[in-house]
Amino acid sequence: MSARPRNENGGRIFPIPQRKLPYCNLGGGHAAMLIQKVVPGRDPVIKGSREGLRIIFPIRHSFEEAFDALAANLAGAGGFFEGARSVLEPSRELTNLEADQIKDLLAEYGLELSQIRPSAATRHSASARMRETKDLKEIKEKGTRQAAVTAVPAPEARTSAAQAFPQGEQALLIRNTVRSGQKIQFDGNITVLGDVNPGAEIIAAGDILVFGALKGTAHAGSCGDRQAVVAALRLRPVQLRIAELIVRAPDKDDGVNVPEIAQIRNDAIVVEPFASGWNLAERKNGRIKGRRGKA
């Protein structure tokens, strides 16, 4: 990553941090990401909630494409979801035939479809799509940082396709250090303002953010959400789990003292320095490197 990527018109494109786009298969460089359709909710996502599982089912081009993507997702999860009740949230109304197909697919994996709930965004999807194309055009013309920000919908828009930034998600906030022997379990995201000491456990259906040192055990995406992340100012967990994957820290403490984030990439948990605008320069200069935990 030497010079900042430039778009076809020669305008500068400010790179968007990779982690903010969980739905896009990150193929080419940053420029490629922007010019491709950068829209969240491209792939089906399975999230845990109080009612059981929520299957967010965006239909972009065709039902078949979305169906295949959901089948691939379920196949990848193994038997992880067996016995769970699920609510399907498609981005548009489904026909009876389509609903039956989904029911059968889910039944194959031991999932019971209890409800189909088209997301509120179905109302907005058309206008949202228009807005997106307009913004992408703006980038190509102006290539300014402002346009880049508006064009990229926030990661929080997981809950439904194309809700406007900055819609957020609920998170449980713990304003203490979590001590050994304490267990925090929540069907959502968890943020700790303090340390998580060895012997403590944090279990979240969503993300886990520790504004301090994570030295205990963290399990994000505990209901099977592979998009969940674990981030900490100092990531030194006894054990780290995301969905069904487990890693432990490398035996030798390499003394990396920057905020780090762990997420699943290509079927493995990858730990890398947390990069957003403020420390991109250091990342670019290669002063910060990523590392992989042993599985």
Partner 1 sequence: MDSMVLVVTSGKGGVGKTTTVANIGTGLAKRGKKVVMVDADIGLRNLDVVMGLENRIVFDLVDVVEGQCRLKQALVKDRRLEGLYLLPAAQTREKDAVQPEQMKALCDELRQEFDYVVIDCPAGIEQGFKNAIAGADEALIVTTPEVSAVRDADRIVGLLQASGLTNPKLIINRIRPDMVKKGDMIGIEDVNGVLALDLLGVIPDDESIIISTNRGEPVVLDKNSHAGEAYRNIVARIEGEDVPLMSLDFDDGFIGKLKKMFGI
Which residue number, 46 or 184, has a Cβ lying nearer to partner 1?
184
Which residue number, 140 or 179, has a Cβ lying nearer to partner 1?
179
Q: List the one residue out of 126, 65, 51, 54 whose CA is nearest residue 92.
A: 126
Tell me: does residue 212 bind partner 1 (CB under 8 A).
Answer: no
Stretch of 9-17, 24-32, 73-81, 174-182 lying at the interface with partner 1 (CB under 8 A): 174-182
Is the peptide bond prior to 155 cis by the omega test (within 30 degrees of 0)? no
CB-based contacts of 144-149 (< 8 A; 24+ apart in sequence): 144/11, 145/14, 148/13, 148/14, 148/16, 148/34
Number of residues forming the site for partner 1 (CB under 8 A): 10
CB of 267 to partner 1, least distance (A): 33
Residue corresponding to tokens 């906030």: 173
Tell me: does residue 79 bind partner 1 (CB under 8 A).
Answer: no
For partner 1, which residue of 198, 239, 244, 288 counts as binding (CB under 8 A)? Answer: 198
Q: CA-to-CA distance for 188 and 116, rounded, in angstroms?
A: 21
Tell me: does residue 180 bind partner 1 (CB under 8 A).
Answer: yes
Secondary element (H or E) of residue 208 = strand 208-214
Tell me: does residue 185 bind partner 1 (CB under 8 A).
Answer: no
CB of 68 to partner 1, least distance (A): 48
Count other C-beta atoms under 10 Å from residue 75's C-beta.
10
CB of 162 to partner 1, least distance (A): 43
Stretch of 9-17, 50-58, 134-142, 195-203 lying at the interface with partner 1 (CB under 8 A): 195-203
Q: CA-to-CA distance for 89 and 110, rounded, in angstroms?
A: 18
Contact residues for partner 1 (CB under 8 A)? 177, 179-182, 195, 197-199, 215
